[in-house]
Structure 1
């Protein structure tokens, strides 16, 4: 099942935000990639930004899905303005120490984005919540 909703933004409502929730399953990757691409296209970002965003979202979500506990949701939030895209993806994982920042996938994320981080927090109910966040500066948005 896919859920989408508008969410309040941290900047007082200036940047549009979209939140989606899907099963933490590889079959949902095309849906998340498609939404990322649609949001970039809707905001008139050039083709290179659109391609980078789709690849970065795919890699971040893939890393999260690999760590997700069975039955978990993948929650993705996009904050977009004319100069940058902020993405945060999170899911429930087994433990809070699983935060590698090396390997080919992480290199891809560093190459495609301007800022990237991964962090985990213990959950009182089940496992930990692991989040990958990145920022892609746009600068070359088309009008």
Structure 2
């Protein structure tokens, strides 16, 4: 999807639908996905696309997202983003690859 704030409601809706099947995940997953995607969209390059993937793994959900970005650094671990996401997930990682893609991967366990 286009890396635009207006498109974030779609990702939120998918996260909510996935989380409904495991109520213990509902709030945490939606908050984490929303924060991750909002951060990626804010750092997205012009005309970039936001690619998202949800992976159900037993009692947990892994979420991966990426966007083309001119940002050469990932969110600081002292930032509000990092504090929010790491407080509602079991794991979170961000990195920039050699192709200029900014990645986020997180995992929420019930």
Same fold (TM over 0.5): yes
Give 1:14's aligned residue: none
- Structure 1 unaligned residues grouped into runs of 5+: 1-21, 139-143
Aligned residues: 109
Give 2:89's aligned residue: 113
1:37 to 5, 11, 16: 16
Give 2:107's aligned residue: 135
* Partner-residue secondary structure (3-state), 1:23: coil
* Partner-residue secondary structure (3-state), 2:73: coil
Give 1:6's aligned residue: none
Which protein, 1 or 2, shows the higher relative CO under an 8 Å CA cutoff with sep ≥ 6?
2
Which stretches of structure 1, 4 residues or more, deviate above 3 A after TM superposition? Answer: none
Q: CA-to-partner distance for each residue in 1:25-81, whole Å, 9 max, x for gaps?
A: 01011110001111222xx201x4111111100000011001100100000010013
CA distance in 2 between partners of 1:31 and 1:102 (Å): 28
* Partner-residue secondary structure (3-state), 1:24: coil
In the TM superposition, what is the alpha-carbon distance from 1:122 to its structure 2 partner?
A: 2.0
CA distance in 2 between partners of 1:91 and 1:81 (Å): 24
* Partner-residue secondary structure (3-state), 1:99: coil
- State whether structure 2 residue 73 is matched by structure 1 residue 98: yes
CA distance in 2 between partners of 1:58 and 1:34 (Å): 10
Structure number with bigger Rg:
1
Cα RMSD (Å): 1.1
- Structure 2 unaligned residues grouped into runs of 5+: none
Give 2:6's aligned residue: 27
In the TM superposition, what is the alpha-carbon distance from 1:136 to its structure 2 partner?
A: 0.6
